[in-house]
Amino acid sequence: MIRVGVVGATGYAGAELVRILQGHPEAELSVITSRQYAGTAFSDIYPALYGIADMLCESFRTEDICEKADIIFTALPHKLPMEIVPELLKKGKRVVDLSADFRFRDVKRYESAYQPHCAKELSEKAAYGLSEIYREEIQSADIIGNPGCYPTSVLLPLIPLIRENLIDTETIICDSKSGVSGAGRSPSVTSLYSEVAESFKPYKVAAHRHNPEMDEVLSRESGKEVSITFVPHLLPMSRGMLTTGYANLARTAKEAEIRECLQHFYQGRQFVRILPEGKIPNTLHVRSSNFCDIGCKIHGKRLILVSAIDNLVKGAAGQAVQNMNIMCGLDESSGLDWVPCPL
């Protein structure tokens, strides 16, 4: 059994990690931490896990967590992980960080979107945890920068097509919609029911912090600087994320060729489902699962790509566990192979 710890276990991403890990056949959840709820049973905070995850939350102490866990998930707001992860690595632990702190290879890009980085050397060593794309790097890394939810939904459909030079990277526009849990559990006016229900709005138009993360990966993939137009929207639902991407075709291609390219690329990768002709992804069809569904349509010279994920699963905790499985040489789907709820 792999002994696993979750730091920040009572936030939305951390709680989703607890939900997944308590049922993982090869992992034992041995320690969970929280500042506010230290000494409280996890199931008192999330009663859905009553009788399933009754363990007590602990205050975070490096020594304690290192004694109890071999793999540590950090599900904290950005800036905190870069302060604690170096010590965890020094003590021989392997870390999957869900924040933005280790997602960037170009530290200057991180710093212009977030804040000064205090563990730059680790950023260079970290693997970007987009599981289906960077499996080899993830296998041998001690620190994983788990991708953001928007980048996961944007990059999975685009990368195979960029590698085959099928799209003009200067013309990419992505329009994404997220459920409110994407903003985390900390109270804020913009997440109040009366602000979100009966409402649908874009926010941080062409100014979201996930934009530079996507640009960095797409630039690496295409071998030249890429800067996409990205507009996120807030949906009046708790979980789920849908991205509609638009790009000009780099040459004449039929829809079947695009679908075939995606199908070929993701062959044997069970969490990415390329939908058949005429079918378009829907957040409901991936809810609570680690799937990313992708559909496509050509309109004139323009390719339209649609992807749907659950922001808390493939967009956060599910992909983090998938990365742990890859790091530990386990079956990639271990602990993740449940089917989505049909309704």
Ligand X SMILES: NC(=O)c1ccc[n+]([C@@H]2O[C@H](COP(=O)([O-])OP(=O)(O)OC[C@H]3O[C@@H](n4cnc5c(N)ncnc54)[C@H](OP(=O)(O)O)[C@@H]3O)[C@@H](O)[C@H]2O)c1
User: Would you please indicate which residues are annotated as catalytic (active-site) residues?
Assistant: 149
Nearer to ligand X, 185 or 259 (CB): 185
Which listed residue (84, 133, 159, 316) binds ligand X by CB under 6 A? 316
Q: Binding of ligand X at residue 85 (CB under 6 A)?
A: no
- Tell which one of 31, 312, 327, 336 touches ligand X (CB under 6 A): 312
Looking at the chain, the number of H-run helices and the number of E-run strands are 12, 13
**Neighbour tally for 162: CB within 10 Å:** 21
Is 98 a residue that touches ligand X (CB under 6 A)?
A: yes
Measured from the CB atom, the residue of 112 and 188 that comes closer to ligand X is 188
Least separation, in Å, of the C-beta of 243 and ligand X?
14
Tell me the window of 3-11, 20-28, 210-218, 269-277 that interacts with ligand X (CB under 6 A).
Answer: 3-11
* Region near ligand X per CB under 6 A, out of 11-19, 134-142, 203-211, 285-293: 11-19
- How far apart CA 324 and CA 31 sit, in angstroms, is 16
Least distance to ligand X, CB of residue 254, Å: 35
Task: Name which of 211, 210, 204, 212 is nearest 108 in CA terms.
Answer: 212
Shortest Å distance, C-beta 316 to ligand X = 4
Measured over all CA atoms, what is the biggest interatomic distance in the chain, rounded to whole angstroms? 62
Q: Are strands 2-7 and 71-74 parallel, antiparallel or unpaired?
A: parallel
Q: Do 191 and 197 touch, CB atoms closer than 8 A?
A: no
Rule CB under 6 A: say whether 292 interacts with ligand X.
no
Interface residue with ligand X among 31, 49, 76, 272 (CB under 6 A) is 76
Pairing relation of β-strands 241-248 and 173-178? antiparallel
**Strand residue runs (E) in 45-172:** 71-74, 94-97, 127-128, 143-145
Question: 181, 311 in Cβ contact below 8 A?
Answer: yes
41: DSSP letter: B
Comparison of 228 and 316: residue with beta carbon closer to ligand X:
316
Q: Which of residues 191-210 bind ligand X (CB under 6 A)?
A: none
With CB under 6 A as the contact rule, the residue among 6, 27, 99, 102 that binds ligand X is 99
Retrieve residue 259's tokens.
């679908």
Our CB check for ligand X shows the closer of 169 and 319 to be 319
**Binding residues for ligand X restricted to 33-72, rule: CB under 6 A:** 34-37
Q: Between 166 and 308, name the residue whose CB sits nearer to ligand X.
A: 308
The region that residue 55 occupies, defined by phi over 0 for left and psi between -120 and 50 for alpha, beta otherwise, is beta
Residues pairing with 145 in the sheet: 97, 128
Choose the stretch contacting ligand X; rule: CB under 6 A; options: 46-54, 82-90, 195-203, 311-319: 311-319
Q: Which of 122, 118, 79 lies closest to 100 in space, CA to CA?
A: 79
Provide the mask over 154-193, with x wherever binding to ligand X is found by CB under 6 A and - wherever it is not.
Answer: ---------------------------xx-xxx-------
Measured from each CB, the residue nearest to ligand X is 11
Strands 302-309 and 241-248: antiparallel
Least separation in angstroms between CB 68 and ligand X: 17
Site string for ligand X, 103-132 (x = CB under 6 A): ------------------------------
Inter-residue contact 226 to 212 (CB < 8 Å):
no
Give me the residues that bind ligand X (CB under 6 A), please. 8, 10-14, 34-37, 75-78, 80, 98-99, 148-149, 181-182, 184-186, 311-312, 315-316
